[in-house]
């Protein structure tokens, strides 16, 4: 136990897809660690975000959305990844959307109740509610669904009430020494983030099907005299998807690469030279072996 009353522990952010878990992580850490879009299942991997303050250190674990849709290998991988994060944490943050409780929220609640962990219920997206009194009946209803230690309405998007949440989380952590150096923000590599920034641009730009049928692999990542030289390979499942991403005269792909490069340069704080290709790997998202080869192993 720490002699200075320092607190340190792990907190998993859980919920169904598209409730704002990654936006909340980014808000708390103060830097973009998790890519976001308005499409469900944008998050595919658990990401650690480390927040060190005067009172101690909290290691937040952002997880893919727990969902009941589909029984394909990718869906199973996402659910396994999310559930595996629940095994060794000190606290759960269960994120739901204000004024909306779905069957998937109910399913998430059933899952987390099996672990018997202390849990804070977060009512996100309150910034979208014009008449705040509408929130009171909803708060009363969802509060009775489980023995939550706290129920906190907030907006991950604009930061309302997020500092209050952080105080509650720190108070719930066990006493102990910090696990990570003070200046470390995550456990993920720069190569991982390079792939995610390319995938984010693609996910934000294309309609329903393509985001779930694409992934990004970094073939080369090297730093030469302060310049990041990165080769990224976009995998899709059909030729038609490849044609859409490349666009007429390659203009669509150029735009994706340009915006992804800008995000990388902000994140890495270095100049980036990015080259991007698109290839077809038929049905990769429904083939367990291909998933493993592309970084979706257990």
Q: pLDDT tens digits, residue range 51-101?
A: 999 999 999 999 888 887 767 888 888 888 888 888 889 999 999 999 999
Q: What is the pLDDT of residues 31-42, one digit of tens each?
A: 999 888 887 778
Strands 7-14 vs 272-280: parallel, antiparallel or unpaired: unpaired
Indicate the domain borders of the chain: 7-172, 190-293
Instruction: From 182, 179, 150, select the one nearest 9 (Cα to Cα).
Output: 179
What is d(CA 230, CA 167) in angstroms, rounded to the nearest whole number?
A: 39
State the pLDDT at residue 2. 46
Say if CB 71 and CB 192 are below 8 A apart: no
Say if CB 92 and CB 112 are below 8 A apart: yes
Query: For residue 154, what are its two tokens?
Result: 């907030």
Say if CB 63 and CB 21 are below 8 A apart: yes
Q: What is the pLDDT of residues 251-293, one digit of tens each?
A: 999 999 999 999 999 999 999 999 999 999 998 888 888 888 8
Question: 123 — phi, psi (to 5°)?
Answer: -95, 100
State the pLDDT at residue 84. 86
Query: For residue 71, what are its two tokens?
Result: 């029984």
Element (H, E) at 217: strand 215-224
State the pLDDT at residue 233. 98
State the pLDDT at residue 298. 57
What is d(CA 243, CA 173) in angstroms, rounded to the nearest whole number?
A: 50
> What is the mean pLDDT of the segment spanning 139-155?
96
Return the minimum-mean-pLDDT range out of 200-209, 221-230, 272-281.
200-209
Query: For residue 136, what are its two tokens?
Result: 């009171």
What is d(CA 95, CA 15) in angstroms, rounded to the nearest whole number?
A: 5
Q: For the chain, first and last CA: distance in Å?
A: 33
Q: What is the pTM (predicted TM-score) of this model?
A: 0.90
> What is the mean pLDDT of the segment spanning 11-20?
93
Neighbours of 158 (CB within 10 A): 11
State the pLDDT at residue 169. 98
The fold for domain 7-172 equals Rossmann fold (3.40.50)
State the pLDDT at residue 158. 96
The fold for domain 190-293 equals GMP Synthetase; Chain A, domain 3 (3.30.300)
pLDDT band at residue 1 under the 50/70/90 scheme: very low
Strands 56-62 vs 215-224: parallel, antiparallel or unpaired: unpaired
Q: What is the pLDDT of residues 153-200, one digit of tens each?
A: 999 999 999 999 999 999 999 999 999 999 999 999 999 999 999 999
* Distance, CA of 266 to chain centre: 19
């Amino acid at each position: 136990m720490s002699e200075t009353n320092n607190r340190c522990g792990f907190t998993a952010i859980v919920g169904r897809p598209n409730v704002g878990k990654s936006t909340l992580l980014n808000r708390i850490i103060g830097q973009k660690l998790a890519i976001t879009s308005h499409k469900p299942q944008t998050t595919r991997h658990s990401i650690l975000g480390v927040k060190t303050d005067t009172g101690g250190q909290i290691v937040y674990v952002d997880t893919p959305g727990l969902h009941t849709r589909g029984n394909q290998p990718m869906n199973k991988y996402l659910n396994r990844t999310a559930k595996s994060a629940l095994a060794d944490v000190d606290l759960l943050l269960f994120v739901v959307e204000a004024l909306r409780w779905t069957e998937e929220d109910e399913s998430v609640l059933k899952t987390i109740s099996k672990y018997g962990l202390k849990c804070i219920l977060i009512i996100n997206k309150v910034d979208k509610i014009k008449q705040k009194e509408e929130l009171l009946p909803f708060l009363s209803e969802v509060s009775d669904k489980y023995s939550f230690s706290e129920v906190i309405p907030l907006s991950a998007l604009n930061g309302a009430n997020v500092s209050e949440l952080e105080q509650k989380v720190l108070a719930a952590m066990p006493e102990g020494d910090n696990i990570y150096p003070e200046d470390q923000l995550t456990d993920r590599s720069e190569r991982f983030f390079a792939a995610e920034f390319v995938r984010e641009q693609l996910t934000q730009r294309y309609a329903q099907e393509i985001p779930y049928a694409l992934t990004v692999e970094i073939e080369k990542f090297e730093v030469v005299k302060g310049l990041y030289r990165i080769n990224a390979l976009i995998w899709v499942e059909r030729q038609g998807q490849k044609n859409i991403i490349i666009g007429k005269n390659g203009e669509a792909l150029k735009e994706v690469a340009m915006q992804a490069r800008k995000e990388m340069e902000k994140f890495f704080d270095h100049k980036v030279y990015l080259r991007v290709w698109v290839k077809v790997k038929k049905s990769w998202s429904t083939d367990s072996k291909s998933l493993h080869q592309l970084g979706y192993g257990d």
